[in-house]
């Protein structure tokens, strides 16, 4: 694995962030770019999966020298190498277990980097799966197409809770 870059917030949450927290996260996450490689990827996985840190799989270009001017927008999209899907299992005819997701991912040769229970999960019923693409995608249209393809492979993924590339 070469290095990957993500936008990672350093605030830890024990429960699902409220509406004000979500707004604050969106405002600051775009300029919190972190780089990970084979030697330190476990720290990223632990921060997200165990410590409750929010992440955006994409990174964004700086608009001005002031890092606060970086915004999580389609126009500022820089690259994306991780793709995340939420499985909330709310709809009875669209439920799926992690084991089923894992088997289907193997069938289609889709490498799962990690998976974790979301903060609102009870008895492992809600989880997020993060897929690792072999290269970074620098084009927003290609990244969006890849996400759409994943939603076709996994129609059980929660369309209303799509992990947003940008606002």
CA–CA distance from 44 to each of 55, 69, 73, 87, 93 (Å)? 10, 25, 23, 21, 33
Find the DSSP H helices in the chain: 19-28, 41-49, 98-107, 140-153
pLDDT at 68: 53
Q: Is residue 57 a contact partner of residue 105, using CB atoms and an 8 Å limit? A: no
pLDDT digits (tens, 9 = 90+) for 37-80: 999 999 999 999 999 999 999 999 877 655 556 678 888 899 99
Q: How far apart are CA 4 and CA 132, in angstroms?
A: 9
**Mean pLDDT score across all residues of the chain:** 88
**Following DSSP, what letter does each residue of 6-45 receive, concatenated?**
EEEEEEE-SS---HHHHHHHHHHGGG-EEEE-TTTHHHHH
Query: Looking at per-residue confidence, does 71 or 35 come out higher?
Result: 35
Reported pTM: 0.87
- Provide the 3-class DSSP secondary structure of residue 158: coil
pLDDT at 72: 80
pLDDT digits (tens, 9 = 90+) for 97-110: 999 999 999 999 99
Domain limits of the chain? 4-161
Nearest partner of 114 among 34, 67, 47, 69, judged by Cα:
47
Does 11 have pLDDT greater than 80?
yes
């Amino acid at each position: 694995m070469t290095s990957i870059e993500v936008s990672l917030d350093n605030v830890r949450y024990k429960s699902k962030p409220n509406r004000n927290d979500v707004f604050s996260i969106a405002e600051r996450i775009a300029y919190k770019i972190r780089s990970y490689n084979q030697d330190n990827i476990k720290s990223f996985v632990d921060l997200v999966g165990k410590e409750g840190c929010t992440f955006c799989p994409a990174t964004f270009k700086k608009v001005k020298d002031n890092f606060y001017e970086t915004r999580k927008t389609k126009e500022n999209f820089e690259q994306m190498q991780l793709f995340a899907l939420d499985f909330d299992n709310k709809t009875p005819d669209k439920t799926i277990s992690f084991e089923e997701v894992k088997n289907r991912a193997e069938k289609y040769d889709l490498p799962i980097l990690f998976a974790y229970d979301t903060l609102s999960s009870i008895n492992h019923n809600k989880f997020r799966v993060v897929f690792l693409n072999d290269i970074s995608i620098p084009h927003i249209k290609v990244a969006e197409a890849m996400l759409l393809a994943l939603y076709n492979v996994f129609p059980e993924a929660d369309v209303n809770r799509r992990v947003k590339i940008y606002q």
